[in-house]
Amino acid sequence: MENSAKVFYQEDCDLSLLYGKTIAVIGYGSQGHAHALNAKESLGENARVIIGLYEGSKSWDKAVKQGFEVFTAAEAAKQADIIMILINDEKQASMYKNDIEPN
């Protein structure tokens, strides 16, 4: 029995499924920053990519300078159709419980 991974390419994806959606990327460190920029570049004006951070985050200004709308994680969750949680593992549970789940 062969266990080979299936590789997906650009032409395998139907990005139109994301058109008209608001995608909230929670976190703007190494992972969040990369995923947010990729989504923004791939989807262009067809979808809205926003950033959710905790108040006082040192990444806030960086995300704004790179052209993103930035909100608290709670406000981003309220606005989002799709949420990507890309923060430190240690902070994920409390952020989810306090900011994302209620919204």
pLDDT digits (tens, 9 = 90+) for 37-75: 999 999 999 999 999 998 889 999 999 999 999 999 999
**Quick one: pLDDT at residue 1?**
56
Give the chain's radius of gyration (CA, Å): 15
Say which range, 1-10, 15-24, 34-43, has the weakest mean pLDDT.
Answer: 1-10
In CATH, which of 3.40.50.10540, 3.40.50.150, 3.40.50.720, 3.90.180.10 is domain 14-100? Answer: 3.40.50.720
Q: 80: which DSSP letter? A: -
Domain ranges of the chain: 14-100
Reported pTM:
0.88
Q: 29: which DSSP letter? A: S
Mean per-residue pLDDT, 1-17: 86
**Quick one: pLDDT at residue 4?**
85
User: Within 13 A of 24's CA, how many CA atoms are on the CB side?
Assistant: 22
**Quick one: pLDDT at residue 38?**
95
Tens digit of each residue's pLDDT (9 = 90 or more) over 70-91? 999 999 999 999 999 999 888 8
